Amino acid sequence: MGKRKILAVASIGGHWVQLLRISKSLEEKYDVVYLSTHPKCSKMVEGNKYYLIQDFSRWDAWKLIPSLFRNFYIILKERPDAIITTGAAPGLVCLFAGKLLFRKTIWIDSIANVQHLSASGRMASKFATRVYTQWKDLSDKKILFAGNVLGEL
């Protein structure tokens, strides 16, 4: 049997930087396929399969529909065991598509959210199979804390 597969998703910028700090460790055990919002992001994950997805924020939500179909296509093609994202909106949409296709879905809220979970994180917590915060004082029974992208506990 081959390695289990993870789709790792994030928008370019801080979300992508955080994702890589997590996914690079996961590559040791899993086949990691990446999705991000800029073509050049593929250069940072050479050797791994990479899909470009459209960037948008919660404020231009009309892009949500084509984005959802693109994510269905990628998930049906790749058949990952789990989908993991550090945000933002494009990651949330991919996670939602994954939920509808019965995948394990993992939201890791950005470390930038130190006072409360992000708006996208709160939405993810309604349906994702697992939600992490990177700050211990924001965790509860449902929102888990197990460490952060700084590498500290």
Partner 1 sequence: MIFVTIGTQAPFDRFIKIIDEIAPSINDEIVAQVYKCSFVPKNIKVVDFLPPDEFNKLFDSAKLIISHAGMGTILSALQKNKPIIIFPRISALGEHRNEHQLATAQKLKELGYVYVAMDEEELKNYITQKDLVPLHIIGSKASHSLIESIEDFVG
Q: Taking the complex as a whole, how short is the minimal distance between the CB of residue 56 and partner 1, in angstroms?
A: 12
Is the preceding peptide bond at 112 cis, omega within 30 degrees of 0? no
**Binding residue (CB under 8 A) for partner 1 from 63, 99, 122, 130:** 130
Q: Is residue 136 part of the contact set for partner 1 (CB under 8 A)? A: no
Q: Is residue 65 part of the contact set for partner 1 (CB under 8 A)? A: no
**Binding residue (CB under 8 A) for partner 1 from 14, 31, 64, 68:** 14
Q: Is residue 133 part of the contact set for partner 1 (CB under 8 A)? A: no
Helix, strand, coil % over all residues of the chain, rounded to 5: 40, 20, 40
Q: Is residue 13 part of the contact set for partner 1 (CB under 8 A)? A: yes
Nearest to 131 by CA among 56, 72, 140, 22: 140
DSSP structure string for 65-103 = HHHHHHHHHHHHHH--SEEEE--SHHHHHHHHHHHHTT-
Q: Taking the complex as a whole, how short is the minimal distance between the CB of residue 69 and partner 1, in angstroms?
A: 25
Q: Is residue 132 part of the contact set for partner 1 (CB under 8 A)? A: yes
Q: Return the amino acid letter for 95.
A: L
Nearer Cβ to partner 1 (17/69): 17
Q: Is residue 51 part of the contact set for partner 1 (CB under 8 A)? A: no
Beta-bridge partner residues of 106 = 84, 130
Tokens of 31: 């086949």
Residues 86-125 touching partner 1, rule: CB under 8 A, are 104, 106, 110-115, 118
